[in-house]
A and B are shown apart, each in its own frame.
Chain A
Amino acid sequence: MTEIVLSTRRLDKNFGSLVVARNIELNLPKGARYALIGPNGAGKTTLINLMTGMLKPNAGQIFLGGEDVTALEPQERVRRGLARTFQINTLFPGLNALEAVTLAVCERRNIAGEFWRNVAVHREAIEEAHDILAKLRLGDSCYQITRELPYGRQRLLEIALALATKPKVLLLDEPAAGVPQEESGEVFEAVASLSDDLTLLFIEHDMHVVFRFASHIIVLVSGAIFTEGSPAAIAADPGVREVYLGKRKHG
């Protein structure tokens, strides 16, 4: 059996009486391409927030590479190899792409606290940042200030920032959200071209994209895992169809 790199055990989270995560048991094997789907309000982003530490669970545990990280701060989990992107652009609007990714690389290399030397002396860090940008085809616009980048490129920069942390596990929250359909392929091609060693979990609404890129699908409804399985099994599941067509009651 392949090694499990990220898992959750009986994860619970509620905001008052609203349950947003219920008894979530999740196992991501190394190199996985998992899709997390479910209707709006099912708790998909909440689950990412719980795994990355941006929310604290009410109960349950999160394991990263066998280590219990439930009590760790988000940045400590990132340093152990768990990165994420955001559904709504969460970038550095006033920095250009090169500066932003260089910053992320400097943080990972533990040189971001260095205040007595020009950042330009760190050739390897800068080149690493530039390579990441070039791989995502952002090389030619890396000097452009983030807020002036076209929206599609900002979505790619989201991924570039996450990659700069050299993650083992990458959680992508609707990487192509808001990108016109004809361009969303470009974002997912970029995702598909990532290293096979990298374990991926992505949230996506477009079922064509899900069935094309995912090797395994998890369906989340009302904060709980409704079912999971291979794309073929999920496509044939009448229960999933009902959930999406709204015959079942859900939040």
Chain B
Amino acid sequence: MVPTDTISAPQLYLQSLSRWSATEIAFWLATLLPFFLFPNYLSLASQIAITALFALSLDLILGYAGVVSLGHAAFFGIGAYAAGLFSKFVWGEPISGLLVAALLAGLAGYATSFIICRFRHLTLIMLTLGLGLLAFEVANSAHWLTGGSDGLQGVRIWPLFGIFKFDLYGYTAYSYSLAVLFLFFLGMRRLVHSPFGLALRGIRENLVRMPAIGAASRAHIRKAYTIAAAVAGIAGALLTQTTESAALESISFQRSADVLVMLVLGGAGRLYGGLIGAIIFMIARDQFSGIAPQYWYFWIGILLIVVVMLLPNGILGGLSKIFARWSRK
């Protein structure tokens, strides 16, 4: 550590940007509330934590580097199937399953990143969409391996650390998902305040200027895309492990679109946007589908339209604007 008296003002300023705020601490404490207030909803809470991790991974490339993807579920699905197959054919120990899933999804991300880093805008959206559809059809047609539309059978997960069984109530599931989410959130938080995080924001803010300051933007994009893919793979693996099943839905276009909607709802490029978006989206789905199972996207559609029209930076962006105005008064 640098002694405090030698820290310059600009350095202090940059340090202050990554300081934990009271709101943040309150947010993470609140994630423990479901254990006490909604013990019947722990399975839902676990799904929310997993989706939030998935949204966080998309935020890294979309919110920070400005790389739009409509096929991010490919990596979620690769992670989901990798964890399922690993438990079926090797062993059911969950942590090693997560690592294998991260490795495979990361490799897939690294391989495709060479194409991704060359394009922007509509071309990029279509490319990621195409790659996502490819991944889906590969999973669909490899019936012998993935079980195709029947889903992967025979996923058996050992108790966590050999002690905590994945119970019906979701105690273990939520604890596990939340812990993994928090861990990766810490890593991601570190990353966005790092020199690399600054470079990603530079890419988002002005791709033309980057080479003029000597930056190899494509290498940065490849790295970010690989990390995002690995984290998405972890999220997919968590879903497989906590539900002891892997389905085609995990690698579908629907999932890619949903996570994009969540991120836009919550607010991209601010870490918590994906988390808030996932919470709102998943709870809305749970509640609305209870009212009218076939039409619940109607409400999501309305919510999305209202948010993008009134709050261009998502719910968090809107909130921070209101807060800024209020604190100025």
What is the total number of residues of chain A having a CB less than 8 Å from a CB of chain B? 50
Within 8 A of A (CB), among B196-230: 196-199, 201-202, 204-206, 208-217, 219-220, 223, 227
Residues on B with C-beta less than 8 A from A104 are 213-214
CB pair B206 A91 closer than 8 Å: yes
Assess whether B143 is interfacial by the CB under 8 Å rule.
no
Assess whether A8 is interfacial by the CB under 8 Å rule.
no
Given the known inter-chain contacts A75-B216, A103-B202, please indicate yes or no for A112 contacting B8, CB distance below 8 A: no
Residues on A with C-beta less than 8 A from B210 are 75
CB pair A75 B190 closer than 8 Å: no
The main secondary structure of chain B at its interface with chain A is helix
B218: min CB distance to chain A, Å: 10
B196: min CB distance to chain A, Å: 4
B220: min CB distance to chain A, Å: 7
Assess whether A84 is interfacial by the CB under 8 Å rule.
yes
Report which of B7, B14, B193, B214 forms a contact with A107, defined as CB distance below 8 A.
B214
CB pair B214 A119 closer than 8 Å: no
Residues on A with C-beta less than 8 A from B13 are 98, 143
Assess whether A42 is interfacial by the CB under 8 Å rule.
no
Residues on B with C-beta less than 8 A from A91 are 206, 209
CB pair A94 B195 closer than 8 Å: no
Residues on B with C-beta less than 8 A from A126 are 8, 10-11, 14
A171: min CB distance to chain B, Å: 10
Assess whether B122 is interfacial by the CB under 8 Å rule.
no
Assess whether A74 is interfacial by the CB under 8 Å rule.
yes
Assess whether A78 is interfacial by the CB under 8 Å rule.
yes
Assess whether A113 is interfacial by the CB under 8 Å rule.
yes
CB pair B195 A113 closer than 8 Å: yes
Residues on B with C-beta less than 8 A from A30 are none
B57: min CB distance to chain A, Å: 14
Interface membership of chain A positions 84-100, coded 1 if the CB is closer than 8 angstroms to chain B and 0 otherwise: 10100011111100111
| Bound CA span A95–B14, Å | 12
| A122 nearest in chain B by CB position | B195
CB pair A113 B199 closer than 8 Å: yes
Within 8 A of B (CB), among A107-122: 107-108, 111-122
| Bound CA span A52–B199, Å | 21
Assess whether A222 is interfacial by the CB under 8 Å rule.
no
Report which of A95, A106, A118, A130 forms a contact with B193, defined as CB distance below 8 A.
A118
| Bound CA span A52–B211, Å | 10
Given the known inter-chain contacts A79-B214, A95-B201, A108-B214, please indicate yes or no for A120 contacting B18, CB distance below 8 A: yes
What is the total number of residues of chain B having a CB less than 8 Å from a CB of chain A? 40
CB pair B214 A75 closer than 8 Å: yes
CB pair B7 A123 closer than 8 Å: yes
CB pair B213 A103 closer than 8 Å: yes
Assess whether A129 is interfacial by the CB under 8 Å rule.
yes
| Bound CA span A75–B219, Å | 12
B186: min CB distance to chain A, Å: 11
| Bound CA span A113–B194, Å | 9
| Bound CA span A119–B194, Å | 5
Given the known inter-chain contacts A75-B214, A161-B213, please indicate yes or no for A120 contacting B14, CB distance below 8 A: yes
| Bound CA span A102–B15, Å | 13
Given the known inter-chain contacts A103-B199, A107-B213, A120-B15, please indicate yes or no for A95 contacting B219, CB distance below 8 A: no
CB pair A100 B10 closer than 8 Å: no
CB pair B11 A127 closer than 8 Å: yes
Assess whether B310 is interfacial by the CB under 8 Å rule.
no
| Bound CA span A120–B208, Å | 26
Q: Which among B18, B197, B215, B223 has the highest number of chain A CB atoms within 10 Å?
A: B215
CB pair B205 A83 closer than 8 Å: no
CB pair B201 A75 closer than 8 Å: no
Residues on A with C-beta less than 8 A from B212 are 52, 74-75, 78, 83-84, 86, 90, 161-162
Interface membership of chain B positions 236-259, coded 1 if the CB is closer than 8 angstroms to chain A and 0 otherwise: 000000000000000000000000
Residues on A with C-beta less than 8 A from B223 are 113, 115
Assess whether A68 is interfacial by the CB under 8 Å rule.
no
B13: min CB distance to chain A, Å: 6
CB pair A73 B14 closer than 8 Å: no
Beyond the given pairs A53-B211, A75-B211, 12 more chain A to chain B contacts, judged by CB atoms under 8 angstroms and listed by A's residue number, are A78-B214, A90-B209, A95-B198, A95-B205, A112-B220, A113-B195, A115-B190, A115-B194, A118-B193, A126-B11, A130-B10, A142-B10
What are 6 contact pairs spanning A and B, CB under 8 A?
Answer: A86-B209, A92-B206, A94-B201, A113-B219, A116-B191, A127-B8
CB-based closest 5 A-B pairs: A115-B196, A78-B214, A92-B205, A120-B15, A74-B211
